Amino acid sequence: MKPVLLSLLVSLATASAGDWPNWRGPRFDGSSDEASLPTKADPASALWKVAMPGPAASSPIVAAGKVFITTTDEKEKSLLGICFDAVSGKELWRKSIGSGFSADERSNYANPSPATDGKTVIFHFATGDTAAFDFSGKELWKRNMQKDYGTYAIQWTPASSPVITDGLAIFQVLQRNSAFEFGGQKKGNPDGPNDSYLLALDTATGKEVWKSIRPSDAAAESLESFSTPMPWSSESRRELLVTGGDCVSGHDLKSGRELWRSVSWNPEKIGHWRLVPGPIAGDGIILACAPKRAPVYAFKAGATGTVSLDDTAWISSKDHGTEDVSSDVSTPLFYKGRFYVVNSDRKSVCCVEPKSGKLLWEHRVEGGTKIESSPVAGAGRIYFQDMRANLTIMDAADQPKVVFSGPMGEGPEQKDVRSSIALADGRLYIRTASHLYCIGSKP
Question: Rg of the chain over CA atoms, in angstroms?
Answer: 20
Q: Comparing C-alpha atoms, which of 120, 115, 124 is closest to residue 146?
A: 124
Does residue 16 contact residue 33 with C-beta atoms inside 8 Å?
A: no
Question: Per-residue pLDDT tens for 43-82?
Answer: 999 999 999 999 999 999 999 999 999 999 999 999 999 9
CA 99 to chain centre: 23
What distance in Å separates the CA atoms of residue 346 and residue 248, rounded to the nearest whole number?
Answer: 24
Domain count, the chain: 1
Asked whether the predicted pLDDT for residue 176 surpasses 50, the reply is: yes
| pLDDT, position 61 | 98
What distance in Å separates the CA atoms of residue 54 and residue 71, rounded to the nearest whole number?
Answer: 6
| pLDDT, position 93 | 98
What distance in Å separates the CA atoms of residue 151 and residue 64, rounded to the nearest whole number?
Answer: 35
Q: What backbone phi and psi angles, to 5 degrees, belong to 309? A: -70, -20
What distance in Å separates the CA atoms of residue 296 and residue 351, rounded to the nearest whole number?
Answer: 13
CATH number at 35 reads: 2.130.10.10
Does residue 15 contact residue 421 with C-beta atoms inside 8 Å?
A: no
Query: What's at 242, amino acid-wise?
Result: V
Confidence of residue 177 (pLDDT cuts 50, 70, 90): very high
| pLDDT, position 99 | 97
Question: Per-residue pLDDT tens for 103-159?
Answer: 988 899 999 999 999 999 999 999 999 999 999 999 999 999 999 999 999 999 999
Confidence of residue 17 (pLDDT cuts 50, 70, 90): low
Q: Tell me which of 230 and 1 has the higher pLDDT.
A: 230
% of residues, the chain, pLDDT over 90: 90
| pLDDT, position 16 | 53
What distance in Å separates the CA atoms of residue 378 and residue 37, rounded to the nearest whole number?
Answer: 7
The mean pLDDT of 400-421, rounded to a whole number, is 91
pTM of the model: 0.95
% of residues, the chain, pLDDT over 70: 96
Parent domain of 273: 3-439
Q: Comparing C-alpha atoms, which of 308, 351, 340 is closest to residue 24?
A: 340
CA 305 to chain centre: 26
